[in-house]
Amino acid sequence: MPKPVSMEKRADIIRHMQAGKSKAEIAEWLFVCVRTAARVWAKYERRGSYAPEPIRSGRKPLACGETMERVMAKIREAPDMTLLELIDWFSLPISRAALSKRLIKLGLTYKKRRSIQKAGGAKTPPGRGANGARNRAG
């Protein structure tokens, strides 16, 4: 695939087309194909800009924008809702994992309640776990 036309050449094509030169003359002078000059000019007439369009690759997300704003508002209203409850509430066409990834990207993560004791904070009764497997009966 050939390289895209530089912004400088695009600007030159537009400037010379506005001056009344033909596409063939411009193409020969700038060492581009006549079709390239025509495409740049058509894009300029259609959009008012000669900048290349952004490349849109990948799948479009099924839950985005306004939908995710409504989900976020519902989470603020009822923070104890599960992912499956949110999917059912809004009839979202996505999986639990996909919703989880979207919420993480938005800065929401599941945090345990502070009232729950941290792992490793509980004392082990004497005689259990002190020496690992040596205390097993057997």
Q: Tokens at residue 100, please?
A: 């989880």
Average pLDDT rounded to a whole number, residues 105-114: 71
Q: Residue holding tokens 């929401």?
A: 108
Cα distance between residue 14 and residue 12, in whole Å: 5
pLDDT in tens, 22-61: 999 999 999 999 999 999 999 999 999 988 877 777 877 7
How many other CB atoms sit within 10 Å of the CB of residue 68? 18
